[in-house]
Amino acid sequence: MNFANLFRIALKALSNNKFRGFLTMLGIIIGVGSVITMLAIGQGSKKSIQAEISEMGSNMIMVSPGAERRGGVRMSRDDVQTLKVKDFEDIRDNCKYVTLASPTVNASGQAVYGANNTPTSVYGVTQDYLDIRGYKVKDGDVFSDQDIHTSAKVCVVGQTVVDVLFPNGEEPVGKVIRFGSIPFRIVGVLESKGTNTMGQDQDDLMFVPYTTVMKRIQAVTYLQGITCSAISEEYTDQAIEEIGEILRENHKLKEGAEDDFNIRSQQELSSMMTSTSDMMSTLLAAVAAISLIVGGIGIMNIMYVSVTERTKEIGLRMSIGAKGRDILSQFLIEATLLSVAGGVIGVILGIVAAYVVKVLLSYPISISTGSIILSFVVCTVIGIFFGWYPARKASNLDPIEALRYE
Amino acid sequence: MDKEVIKLEDIKRDFKVGSEVVHALRGVSFSIMEGEFVTIMGSSGSGKSTLLNTLGCLDTPTSGEYYLDGVAVRTMNKDQRATLRNRKIGFVFQNYNLLAKTTAIENVELPLLYNPKYSKKERYDMSVEALKAVGLGDRLEHKSNQMSGGQMQRVAIARALVNNPAVILADEATGNLDTRTSFEVLVLFQKLHSEGRTIIFVTHNPEIAMYSTRTITLKDGRVISDEYNGKVLDAAEALAALPVEKE
Ligand SMILES: Nc1ncnc2c1ncn2[C@@H]1O[C@H](COP(=O)(O)OP(=O)(O)OP(=O)(O)O)[C@@H](O)[C@H]1O
Ligand SMILES: [Mg+2]
């Protein structure tokens, strides 16, 4: 008996019981549908986080002062004064694997222009920082090395700040605004970056030379952090090692002494942020997998009923020449058809549901071909696995007994 | 017509029921030539169905040899016997055993589906041929539940014919039919016989034996008589002589 004939017989048998077939498939439909939707949502949010991060620069490395914080002992970062300007300069000048480096010293306060004012943050940095974080200057220019050298009172402002301080569309470049009591001349305006995944407004800030913040605003001699960029993503580990060596030497740390600084790469941050969405995906997928198994048991159950109901038919088929394996294949194909058809409907419904989520809740979604292929493979396996025992039972029937069955 | 289609040598079939052994067949031997129309008679429990199952390769004897068309059946395995049934045997059952919700042509086609030799076209043509032979050429697409008992039995006979078997086996093929329809089916069997087919017909009804060429009678699992029928009655005449039923 060839496969096409068996297939036709199985199809015919299923079409004799359409509604029951549909009910049987329901478990699989719901299972596959939810797997597809859940994965689409999980993958979507993960992808958008990753996109955001890589936009920030995937080879970014952040150095912060103080030992790695563990357990409950949490020191305020501002109290730790281990990072100095020399550390930054050494990293910038001596690290082979680091292309860009900028110190960071931040302050928050009120920016004022005329009658308008807004709370905002000032980032004391070098020009490199804008490149590392992917900020571009829309109007005007970044401050110069000379400005850094002289701790000039110049700033590059983000769009949010511009919108508040210059509501009437005046040209901001060249204007002098105040931050606290210090006047800053605006030399450039940033291109808008919008909000990031965590909902932070990335345009609500001002960049000024780090020397200006250190001397004129904070009056400190230490840095809050150093932000660097490795020459490429593959070399982040080497870059981290190099930075560590320089800092340990600068800080005169003895062999075995704990670091008084902390280096983290963007990749770590990225995996930290995606791990939650990964965990959610896994959890949801597990729930969906359980419903698939329940669906499989439904198929098994209905196949058992079907074999009992059709005992006479099986007897007849055997009497006219069906071999045990013909009967086995027929019922296996039936079970597999049920589960794969359920899978197809489930995939379609899952995709539709994912789009509904996207449109109604404006969630980022991403449907991977992988998850669709996986669904089909799983459905086929479920069909064969749960169809096996009933089909086995059918093929082992004695033809005479089966024919006599009422 | 002297080819031996069936040859039984001392066939015994025992069934174990609990601790007891039931001897359904206690040594049956006979031969059937090609083109014979044999009825097997006997009281209930005499072993007729057991014998027919053996002849149809559905059951294996406990001992004895059975040759079908020259092939020894006893030593065959399940799959080989299935193939043998598919190629050499046509079954007709008392309760027709048609598939539900299935058209006449699909029912008839069934044995051919299990023979990879036939193409779709061949299957269709052969099935139409068989249905025409039983007078149902105009009922190809009728489903089994849209037909009368006599028509269903004729579909079943067409299904038994379609693979051009060496022997057609019928167990109480008229048992569920009224007198008139029984005769119609008998006419059909006589027609098939006249075309040279070998038919073995199990029945309770001694009247039917008069329309066959040979009668084997069983009792307690033994052959107690085996007679050729000198004067075979014509079923068509008998049918014509039946009083016409009132409308
Ligand atoms: N599967 C079986 N298991 C046990 N005993 C069986 C089995 N099949 C048949 N028998 C016994 O074998 C004997 C012959 O049975 P068989 O069915 O051949 O009779 P039969 O002549 O066809 O009867 P009927 O005319 O009522 O159909 C009976 O005594 C029956 O009980
Ligand atoms: Mg019987």
What are the chain A neighbours of B85 within 8 Å (beta carbons)? 319-321
Q: Do A196 and A146 fall into the same domain?
A: yes
The last residue of a domain, from among A224, A259, A294: A259
Which pLDDT value is given to residue A255?
82
Angle at A369 (CA atoms; ends A363, A371), nearest 5 degrees? 75
Exposure of A151 in the CB half-sphere (CA atoms within 13 A): 10
Q: Do A134 and A250 fall into the same domain?
A: yes
The residues facing B9 across adjacent strands are B65
Domains in chain B, please, with CATH? 36-47+85-241 (3.40.50.300)
Which residue of B97, B106, B115 is in closest CB contact with A312?
A: B97
A369 touches B: beta carbon within 8 Å:
no
Whether A233 maps to a domain, the answer reads yes
Whether A375 maps to a domain, the answer reads yes
Which pLDDT value is given to residue A328?
95
pLDDT, tens only, B118-163: 999 999 999 999 999 999 999 999 998 899 999 999 999 999 999 9
Which residue has a Cα nearest atom 29 of ligand 1?
B45
Q: Do A290 and A254 fall into the same domain?
A: no
Pairing of β A154-157 and β A182-190:
parallel
Whether A398 maps to a domain, the answer reads yes
Whether A68 maps to a domain, the answer reads no
Q: Are A253 and A260 in contact (CB under 8 A)?
A: yes
Q: Do A251 and A284 fall into the same domain?
A: no
Q: Do A237 and A193 fall into the same domain?
A: yes
CA distance A400 to chain B (A): 7
What are the chain B neighbours of A21 within 8 Å (beta carbons)? none
DSSP letter (8 states) at residue A233: G
| ipTM value | 0.93
CA–centroid distance for B23 within its chain: 24
Please identify which residue in the block is written with the tokens 């930075």: A243
Whether A190 maps to a domain, the answer reads yes
Q: What share of chain A is helix, strand, coil (3-state, %, to 5)?
A: 60, 20, 25
The last residue of a domain, from among A238, A259, A280: A259
Q: Do A40 and A145 fall into the same domain?
A: no
Which residue has a Cα nearest atom 22 of ligand 1?
B49
Which pLDDT value is given to residue B106?
93
Q: How far apart are CA A69 and CA A52, in angstroms?
A: 26
The residues facing B14 across adjacent strands are B23
Using CB atoms within 10 Å of the CB of residue A256, give its burial: 0 to 12 exposed, 13 to 18 middle, 19+ buried. Answer: exposed
Three-state SS string over B190-222 comes to HHHHHCCCCEEEECCCHHHHCCCCEEEEEECCE
Pairing of β B4-17 and β B63-68:
antiparallel
Distance B151 CA to ligand 2 centre (A): 23
Which pLDDT value is given to residue A122?
93
Q: How far apart are CA B28 and CA B246, in angstroms?
A: 46
The SS3 call for residue A60 is strand
What are the chain B neighbours of A328 within 8 Å (beta carbons)? none
Number of independent structural domains in chain A: 2
Q: Do A193 and A288 fall into the same domain?
A: no
- B75 CB within 6 A, ligand 1: no
Q: How far apart are CA A356 and CA A43, in angstroms?
A: 16
Q: How far apart are CA A332 and CA A326, in angstroms?
A: 10
Whether A67 maps to a domain, the answer reads no
Q: Between A and B, how many residue pairs show a Cβ–Cβ distance under 8 A?
A: 59
- B42 CB within 6 A, ligand 1: yes
Which pLDDT value is given to residue B151?
93
Q: Which of A49, A79, A55 is nearest to A67 (CA)?
A: A79
- B47 CB within 6 A, ligand 1: yes
> What does each of the 247 residues of chain B score in pLDDT, given as a tens digit?
578 999 999 999 999 999 999 999 999 999 999 999 999 999 999 999 999 999 999 999 999 999 998 899 988 999 999 999 999 999 999 999 999 889 999 999 999 999 989 999 999 999 999 999 999 999 999 998 899 999 999 999 999 999 999 999 999 999 888 989 899 999 999 999 999 999 999 998 899 999 999 999 999 999 999 999 989 999 999 989 888 765 4
What are the chain B neighbours of A313 within 8 Å (beta carbons)? 99
CA–centroid distance for B185 within its chain: 12
Q: Do A21 and A162 fall into the same domain?
A: no
Q: Do A224 and A282 fall into the same domain?
A: no
Whether A222 maps to a domain, the answer reads yes
Q: Which of B13, B7, B15, B43 is nearest to B224 (CA)?
A: B43
CA torsion sign for B167, B172, B175, B176 is negative
CA distance B102 to chain A (A): 9
Q: Are B74 and B65 in contact (CB under 8 A)?
A: yes
Which residue of B99, B114, B159 is in closest CB contact with A322?
A: B114
Q: How many of the other CB atoms lie within 10 Å of CB of B108? A: 29
Whether A71 maps to a domain, the answer reads no
**Buried/exposed A12-43: b ≥16 CB within 10 Å, e otherwise:** ebbeeeeeebeebbebbbbbbbbbbbbbbbbb
> What does each of the 406 residues of chain A score in pLDDT, given as a tens digit?
578 888 888 888 888 888 999 998 998 998 889 888 888 888 888 887 777 776 666 688 889 888 765 544 555 544 578 888 999 999 999 888 999 999 999 999 999 998 899 999 999 999 999 988 888 999 899 999 999 999 999 999 999 999 999 998 889 999 999 998 899 999 999 998 887 766 678 899 999 999 999 999 988 889 999 999 888 878 888 899 999 999 998 988 888 888 888 888 877 777 777 777 778 778 877 887 788 888 889 899 999 999 999 999 999 999 999 999 999 999 999 999 999 999 999 999 999 999 998 898 878 888 888 888 988 888 889 999 999 999 999 999 999 999 988 7
Q: What are phi and psi of B72, to 5 degrees?
A: -75, 120
DSSP letter (8 states) at residue A259: P
Q: Which domain holds residue A125?
A: 81-259
Distance B199 CA to ligand 2 centre (A): 17
Q: Do A25 and A107 fall into the same domain?
A: no
Q: Do A276 and A253 fall into the same domain?
A: no
Which residue of B58, B79, B113 is in closest CB contact with A319?
A: B58
Three-state SS string over chain B comes to CCCEEEEEEEEEEEEEECCEEEEEEEEEEEEEECCCEEEEEECCCCCHHHHHHHHCCCCCCCEEEEEECCEECCCCCHHHHHHHHHHHEEEECCCCCCCCCCEHHHHHHHHHHCCCCCCHHHHHHHHHHHHHHCCCCCCCCCEHHHCCHHHHHHHHHHHHHCCCCCEEEEECCCCCCCHHHHHHHHHHHHHHHHCCCCEEEECCCHHHHCCCCEEEEEECCEEEEEEECCCCCCHHHHHHHCCCCCC
Please identify which residue in the block is written with the tokens 């791990």: A275
Where residue B193 falls (left for φ over 0; alpha for ψ -120 to 50; beta otherwise) is alpha
Which pLDDT value is given to residue A34?
86
Q: Do A137 and A286 fall into the same domain?
A: no
Which pLDDT value is given to residue B81?
94
Which pLDDT value is given to residue A57?
64
Which pLDDT value is given to residue A72?
45
The last residue of a domain, from among A259, A287, A306: A259
CA–centroid distance for A179 within its chain: 37
Using CB atoms within 10 Å of the CB of residue A8, give its burial: 0 to 12 exposed, 13 to 18 middle, 19+ buried. Answer: middle
Ion ligand 2 — residues with CB < 5 Å: B 49
